[in-house]
Structure 1
Amino acid sequence: MRRSIIPPLIFGIVGTAILMTLGFWQLRRMEWKEAMLAEIQTGIDAAAQPLPAEIDPSMKYMPVLVEGRTTGEEILVLSGTKERGGGYNVISGFVTSDGRRILLDRGFVDQDQRHDPRPPAALRVRGNLHWPQEKGSATPEPDLDAGIWFARDVPEMARMLDTEPVLVVAAAAEGDLQGVDPIPVSIDGVPNSHLSYAVQWFLFAATCAGMTLWFIWRIRRRTY
């Protein structure tokens, strides 16, 4: 009995078209993500302004300028850098010159600096408002006995240090830095995997087209 190549041909064309469409959709998503990241970076790099009276997460990445004193109370969040290896982000209570109590991510210290004294110090800080999304279902709870946290959880840190739930991440600071190196907010950790997804869909489309051609060749070979 002679088998028709029409059904597998239609199936292959439709399947390949769908897979190609998904690949092009991922390319459009990549362009959208790149534009969004560029917009965020522009906002990060904008001129700093005084801390707004009313603050909410919609202001994420807003550049601000704050002046005041650390309280001497701090939280150490497990962290690390490529240059210096493992260490901690120092999150300090900070009282601004107009009396507001906020959180200040002063930056990084390495393992050897963990127990260094960091008493109250006057600072002038240029930084960015931030609400990190670092805590997941697998993140351990803070080790309060050791004084180590495993994620920057703004509401919980604010309760611990008795501040507003407002975090400023220092980009640069003037004053007694006490060995803490600022780590500015960056978009480097924001994922943009759409190109790899697009390549995968195009490879699936090529495989589908190749399998269709092979199947049709097999049918025609058996028929003739």
Structure 2
Amino acid sequence: MTTQGHLSRIPLIATIIVLAAVATMIGLGIWQLQRLQWKEALLARYETALASEDSVAWPTTASRNPDAYYRRSTLDCVTTDERAAMSGRNADDEAGWVQLVQCNTADGAKAWVQLGWSRSSDAVAFGGGTVTGRIAPYEDGVRLVADPPLAGLEANAAPDPRAIPNNHFAYAMQWFFFAVTALVIYGIALRKRVRR
């Protein structure tokens, strides 16, 4: 059969769809590599902030949170509301519970404070006061990890930016693998079609 005959057996619409899908997957892989560069720069900035003893104002809006992560800060806890305990580690890397309290600040805002670490999840007494520590991500906002610890608790483990997931390279390789796999599968299907 001539080359023209082989080409006439290639389904045009299916080929366009597959090639568009492959191009999309390659584009997503490239985007993940770009995200990798952004994430590495972000983590390097956070490592620098963690090494700094310079203090910043407690962030009062969500848009200021990322710029304050891992920096030292101070807030005045006027009154307290909610309390929580979650699994965490102390400064000696022992597993246990970190005690959190939601503070009301003088301007009426709310702020989560991680008071310290204990072996028990039982709530501790903390009525408020000045808290100094490092700002760390927490749920949809931030928390102040007290340093020194408060309410008779042991020292918290320092917040660590290395705990932030950085899987962009793996995701990029995954998208490239999907693209190659799609091309191979479609190539095999086309070969069988042409042979028939």
Unaligned runs of 5+ in 1: 96-101, 135-152, 155-166
Which of 182, 186, 201 in structure 1 is aligned with 2:175? 201
How far apart are the structure 2 equivalents of 1:46 and 1:17? 44
Cα deviation 1:107-134 (Å, max 9, x = unaligned) = 22222x726x657899984x22356225
Question: Greater relative contact order (Cα 8 A, min sep 6): structure 1 or 2?
Answer: 1
Pair 1:6–1:184, CA change in 2 (3 A) = same
Q: What is the aligned partner in structure 2 of residue 64 from structure 1?
A: 72
How far apart are the structure 1 equivalents of 2:113 and 2:16? 62
Pair 1:81–1:119, CA change in 2 (3 A) = closer
Please give the residue correspondences for 1:123-202 in structure 2 after superposition, counting only pairs within 5 Å: 125=132, 127-130=133-136, 132-134=138-140, 168-170=144-146, 172-173=147-148, 178-202=152-176
How far apart are the structure 2 equivalents of 1:120 and 1:133? 23
Query: Secondary structure of the equivalent of 2:161?
Result: coil
Pair 1:76–1:181, CA change in 2 (3 A) = farther
Q: Alignment identity in percent?
A: 20
Query: Secondary structure of the equivalent of 2:116?
Result: strand
Q: What is the aligned partner in structure 1 of residue 114 from structure 2?
A: 105
Q: TM-score, normalised by structure 1?
A: 0.58
Q: What is the aligned partner in structure 1 of residue 84 from structure 2?
A: 77
Please give the residue correspondences for 1:8-19 in structure 2 after superposition, counting only pairs within 5 Å: 9-19=15-25
Query: Secondary structure of the equivalent of 1:79?
Result: strand
Is 2:185 the counterpart of 1:220?
A: no
Unaligned runs of 5+ in 2: 106-110
How far apart are the structure 2 equivalents of 1:78 and 1:119? 14
Q: What is the aligned partner in structure 2 of residue 162 from structure 1?
A: none
Aligned alpha-carbon RMSD (Å): 4.1
Query: Secondary structure of the equivalent of 1:107?
Result: strand
How far apart are the structure 2 equivalents of 1:212 and 1:67? 61
Q: What is the aligned partner in structure 1 of residue 108 from structure 2?
A: none
Query: Secondary structure of the equivalent of 1:129?
Result: strand
Q: Paired residues, what number?
A: 179
